[in-house]
Chains A and B, each alone.
Chain A
Amino acid sequence: MSGDKMVMRAWTRAQSRLGRRPAMPVVACGMLAGLVAVGQAWCVASILARGLAGPASARWPGAGLLLAALAGLAAVRALLMAGGDMAAARAGQQARRRLRDEVLAAILRGGPALLRRRHSAELTALAVDRIEALDGFFARWIPASVLWIAVPALIAALAAVAQPGAAAIMILCGLAVPVGQAVFGIGAAVASRNQFLAMTRLQARFLDRVRGIATIVLLNRADDEAGRLAAAADELRRRTMKILRVAFLSSASIDCAMVVALVLIVVRDGGVVQLLRHGGSPAALADAAARSLFVLLLVPEFFAPLRALALAYQDRAHAAGAASAMGDLPDAPAQAAPARDALPALAAGGVAVAFAHVTFAWDAARGPVLDDLSFAVGAGEILTLVGPSGAGKSTIIEMLLGFIVPDSGQVLVGGADLAAMAPATQSALVSWIGQKPVLFAGTLRENILFARPDADEHALRAALDAASVDRFLADLPQGLDTPIGEGGFGLSGGQAQRVAIARAYLKDAKLLLLDEPTAHLDPETEGEILASLRVLARGRTVILSSHAAGARAFAGPCLDLGLDLGQPGALAPRPVPVEEGRHVHV
């Protein structure tokens, strides 16, 4: 927990440093506005003192001038306020752009492995909402953290010139504020984190339920789910209220301090006026009234920056909460890009692949899913991985994709260690077709060109042809430019798989990885897709994972990752001694 706190503190400090420079104009505007406020108070106090001295002295020639000066100051202050607001917005935007970039880069760096630990809604909430919520930290908190001392100090100093005693009262009451803040602010960061957790939970639940909404409706579970959503939404409300209660309390405490200051100054001045009335001249009385009013009018201005600080306090809490959420993401530098780049040897008809004593466990509790596995596939050969679900077929594919790295042992592609390759080299090497391709928002054309955006029309046509996409193209309302919904609505499973095949064609990599490409298809479609895949496989090395008998139609050896179901070893295969013939040489 204390380590977590340290991370939070370090992050907040680093961000404050980065945010300080853009906050400078905001601070400057705030300081100048404070100065103008003093001028305004002085003008108003002078006018009122004149007025109080009697109607005769009110009609003195300087009156119009004073009113004009007041109007001018008000205009300057309005400009300063607007300028400060705009500068603050700019600072917030700049920081959000930078942070969102960092988070998205970290998510991309983390890659698919990240999705095993975090729900996609959670990551999205982090990159979108969490960062939007940080706006206040940069736009409000950082300037406020300077202004809350600078402006009251300025005002108190100028007030001291008029009435040192009243200035002392102001400062004393003002000092009570940070103490109150510290008391109320305890746990604010925790409250913010809890609130965000509640928000994330609500989002993840909703996204998940919405994706399966048809299942819920047809199981007649919509009411139950609505009830659970209501509970999640109510939890969010309670967490949010907890944060707000702190914010309201601290702003109420500032109101209290301000009222106390006002009352004390009035009481004190009352005494002074009483004294003067007994032996002072009218001029001295008017001067005393002017000073008294001047200081009174300054009191709200004195407390305004403190109030802004209290309001911004929850922004700081949000930042502290964000720090711990972002701490989970993979770090920027280091292992992401190996300094050296091992280059694989490519043959005309594919690339050789070998696993050497590879061990890997997803979860230590479940035991290794691959245990000292060794096999080799020659360039242009086809290896079919068979075995029941969960035997490690997908694990092998993900390892070849570079999503995961072996706990021990080596994966060699084209004779080079996969782990030593630069990410670009790695990804240029392989094409992959999984069980269900992700179709992005956009048109069919854009989705196919995803594999190679710079492909020309000719290459695109060739890919469409080879993947038999043209077979269903005529059925789509706008042909290639038909928009495709999330999860590929509008395309059947077989059609979506054809998009994936077309992508693989465009990419034209030497190693083709097929991860149960027909698992979700009916046998007839499966046959058609397999026929297309066989064409795609020409001139490439293919590693196919399949449990369906139909997939054995691919020529070539099988690697059986048989699973002993009776063993409490879970989804892991038995240990695979190399001598037992599991060592396949092709």
Chain B
Amino acid sequence: MSMSDRAPAEHAPSTGLDPILRVLALWRGRAPRLAAGAFLSLLALLAALVLMRGAGARVAALAFGGAVAGMGLLRVSGVARVVLRYVERLVTHDAMFRALADLRVWFFRRLAGGAAAGLGFRRAGDLLSRLVSDVEALDGLYLRIMVPLAGACLVLPFLVVAILPVDPLLAAIVGGLFAAGAFLLPLAAALMGRREAAILTHRLADLRIGVLDLVTGLREIRAFGAEGRMMSHARARDAALLRGQARQARLLALMGGASYLCGQAAMLAVLAAILGVGLGPIPAARGIGLLFLVLAGFESAGGLTRAGALAGGISRAAARVVAVGETDGPPVIAGTQPAPPGTDIRFEQVSFRWQADRAPVFDGLNLDIRQGTRVAILGPSGIGKSTLAALLLKVAAPGAGRITLGGQDLATLDSVSVRRRMAWLSQATHLFADTIRANLLLGRPEASEADLWTALDRAQMGDTVRALPDGLDAWLGEGGASLSGGQGRRIALARTLLSDAPILILDEPATGLDGETERAFLTTLYDVTAGRTVILIAHRLVGVEKLDRVWRLADGRAVAAAV
């Protein structure tokens, strides 16, 4: 819902060419297709110009009683033009959508690269809007701007060269009008519409966020009888979007009219030259040919003005798409070395704080966790137990001191290979809208059916899943909605246990388990993790854990406690 209409926080509203160039660089892989599309488009345009010129001349000749000879050729080139136009549109659109699909994948990878610590203040609804509408808006960059602009660059000299031998003044006038219609007006439209188009991009995102809020908050809304308020809130966002769109439509309509008038003015000039009013006179037969040519040329550039008015939105969309990787979390050095075979973990004088203005979480923390040992790290909430896991998984990097894995500095190790060594059950582990099987397989894609059941049994969830009509193929729903909180948590636990990583980090694994089940789970944990390092992060111990060492976190350090 929300309530305030603050503009979404955006870093550096870069609306210049920079983001556009970055998007174009990302399309390099599709360059051959895109270029082929543009080439075909120019070919189709050329065919149209030649055809129109020929047709005009033929009509004139006909009026003089000339031979009807060229008719066959006219027919052939007419058909060629229709076919070329069809193929050209197919190829350009297909190339464009391939490039957009690539961009969506790039967006996701980029997002994943910076999101090991979660989404933070970036809203899923806003990201969705970027992936869907903003990427979609970028099709205009190629289809509406680049290709027609290339066409206009071809048409202008064609027109000038065709008219120049007939009447230089006319050539200058038509050329000038064409440049105005194809370059100046779109530029003016772009400048006038820039602000509006950029705002619209945000308004659409705002609407999407508002609607997504309304949909995810349906329970709260119903429970608090807030239907009316949420509705009027969504309505306000919708109205803001529509108002902006109305302003943009007005600009588009006016610009479209102006661009039409440019073409008409050029036509008038040619007619005046034929009549010898102010210009010319030029021979009528050639004049008619030129007239047809001018009409075709201006028609090809007609869309550019509208595209210009939308350019601001396209540029804003590009900026929003390429901004996705910019995170504001603490810098993590992405190492390059593969993780060593050993899995001894050492924290040496590690200090860490999440934000500069916050108190340090760790201050000179020392820990020594040997390969294959079972340790517990205890402490009240907020003491930094989860931060410890974040540091180990290279979600965050220590401010001072160092962490070693198998004797090597974690900072030099490749984060993917580090994460392959560790399986983490975090407090915020997410269940995906998919089957139980697919959710489990995320932990180890090659796991067999038997492995899945073993993991479920160890997480005390096997019987429940077995009782489901669809068993492993039961659909979990959004965020595991079809399960209760405790069941969902145990599925996540099973997913973690399934992993064959040599280090298991279990952050409060017993959350959501009742006392009896918790004991049963912790008892089996000892047996199922033989040979693996287990780091149990908990608030307290139940007493059935078989541990090699226990630390208690306090004052940013770890103090050894009695086992």
Physical interaction between A and B: yes
B97 and A206 contact, CB distance less than 8 A? no
* Nearest CB in chain A: distance from B300 CB, A: 14
- CB < 8 Å neighbour of A204 from B274, B431, B433: B433
Q: Does A111 contact B (CB under 8 A)?
A: yes
- CB < 8 Å neighbour of B432 from A132, A212, A236, A274: A212
B288: A residues at CB distance < 8 A: 48, 51-52
B464 and A48 contact, CB distance less than 8 A? no
A263 and B74 contact, CB distance less than 8 A? yes
The chain B residue with its CB closest to the CB of A227 is B105
Contact status of A82 and B254, CB under 8 A, knowing A47-B274, A89-B249: yes
Give bound CA distance, A215 to B252, whole Å: 45
* Nearest CB in chain A: distance from B494 CB, A: 13
> Interface readout for A100-117 with B: 1 if CB under 8 Å, 0 if not?
110011011011101110
A394 and B484 contact, CB distance less than 8 A? yes
B257 and A79 contact, CB distance less than 8 A? yes
- CB < 8 Å neighbour of B220 from A64, A249, A450: A450
- CB < 8 Å neighbour of A503 from B2, B224, B265, B268: B224
- CB < 8 Å neighbour of A108 from B214, B250, B277, B512: B214
Question: Total A-B residue pairs with C-beta atoms closer than 8 Å?
Answer: 462
B382 and A492 contact, CB distance less than 8 A? yes
B430: A residues at CB distance < 8 A: 211-212, 214-215
- CB < 8 Å neighbour of A522 from B221, B254, B508: B508
Give bound CA distance, A212 to B242, whole Å: 33
Please provide the chain A residues from 240 to 255 with a CB less than 8 Å away from any CB of chain B in the complex: 240-241, 244-245, 248-249, 252, 255
- CB < 8 Å neighbour of B125 from A132, A486, A490, A522: A486
B104 and A229 contact, CB distance less than 8 A? yes
The chain A residue with its CB closest to the CB of B470 is A365
- CB < 8 Å neighbour of B121 from A216, A236, A489, A524: A489
Give bound CA distance, A272 to B385, whole Å: 95
> Interface readout for B41-65 with A: 1 if CB under 8 Å, 0 if not?
0000000000000010011101111
Q: Select the stretch in A140-148, A161-169, A461-469, A567-575 that faces chain B.
A: A567-575
> Interface readout for A220-232 with B: 1 if CB under 8 Å, 0 if not?
1110111001100
Contact status of A548 and B464, CB under 8 A, knowing A52-B60, A89-B245, A424-B225: no
- CB < 8 Å neighbour of B93 from A63, A244, A493: A244
Counting contact residues on chain B (CB < 8 A from A), the size range is: 35 or more
B225 and A423 contact, CB distance less than 8 A? yes
Contact status of A100 and B238, CB under 8 A, knowing A74-B268, A516-B485: yes
Q: Does B303 contact A (CB under 8 A)?
A: no
A393: B residues at CB distance < 8 A: 484
B275 and A67 contact, CB distance less than 8 A? yes
Give bound CA distance, A124 to B234, whole Å: 12
Q: Select the stretch in A317-325, A351-359, A427-435, A530-538 that faces chain B.
A: A427-435
A390 and B464 contact, CB distance less than 8 A? yes
Give bound CA distance, A83 to B287, whole Å: 33
* Nearest CB in chain B: distance from A110 CB, A: 8
Contact status of A209 and B432, CB under 8 A, knowing A52-B64, A237-B100, A441-B209: yes
Give bound CA distance, A203 to B401, whole Å: 43
Please provide the chain B residues from 88 to 121 with a CB less than 8 Å away from any CB of chain A in the complex: 89-90, 93-94, 97-98, 100-102, 104-105, 108-109, 111-113, 115-121
Give bound CA distance, A83 to B252, whole Å: 11
Q: Select the stretch in B17-25, B187-195, B310-318, B421-429 that faces chain A.
A: B421-429
Q: Does B399 contact A (CB under 8 A)?
A: no
B65 and A446 contact, CB distance less than 8 A? no
> Interface readout for A269-311 with B: 1 if CB under 8 Å, 0 if not?
1100110010000000000010011001000000000000000
Q: Does B341 contact A (CB under 8 A)?
A: no
Q: Does B227 contact A (CB under 8 A)?
A: yes
> Interface readout for B214-244 with A: 1 if CB under 8 Å, 0 if not?
1111111111111101110011001100100
A489 and B120 contact, CB distance less than 8 A? yes
A245 and B90 contact, CB distance less than 8 A? yes
Q: Does A453 contact B (CB under 8 A)?
A: yes
Please provide the chain A residues from 451 to 465 with a CB less than 8 Å away from any CB of chain B in the complex: 451, 453
- Supplied contacts A225-B108, A248-B89, 18 more A-B pairs, CB within 8 Å: A51-B287, A67-B272, A89-B250, A97-B242, A108-B227, A110-B218, A213-B111, A213-B115, A219-B495, A225-B112, A229-B104, A229-B108, A241-B90, A241-B93, A289-B63, A388-B464, A390-B487, A522-B538
**Can you list 14 A-B pairs with a CB-CB distance of less than 8 A?**
A55-B281, A58-B275, A74-B264, A81-B260, A85-B249, A124-B208, A208-B433, A230-B105, A240-B93, A249-B86, A266-B74, A427-B223, A450-B226, A520-B485
Q: Which 5 A-B pairs have the closest CB atoms?
A: A212-B430, A442-B2, A89-B249, A427-B225, A51-B284
